[in-house]
Amino acid sequence: DTTGYANPAQVGRLFKALRAEVGARAGGAHFHNTRGQGLANVVAALEVGVDTFDASQGGLGGCPYAPGATGNIVTEDLV
């Protein structure tokens, strides 16, 4: 979710479909918290079997390809 615009319903549908196609090889998730949905998206991904997530200490970072995007979800909140 490079720009942080995904919502939990979209995340659930995406990973459910992806896992149906490729199984556990579907990989992990990378969420930003641009609209305050980062942790809710983690919960949606967990519910369909995703267990690996990118996060950053203090929410630092951003994305050079998406100006204005916030950093990844905050590690301190995730754990």
> What are the catalytic residues?
63
Give me the DSSP letters along 19-39. Answer: HHHHGGGG--EE-B-TTS-HH
CA atoms within 13 A on the CB side of 44: 19
Q: Which of 34, 47, 54, 66 is nearest to 8 (CA)?
A: 47
Whether 42 contacts 54, CB under 8 Å: no
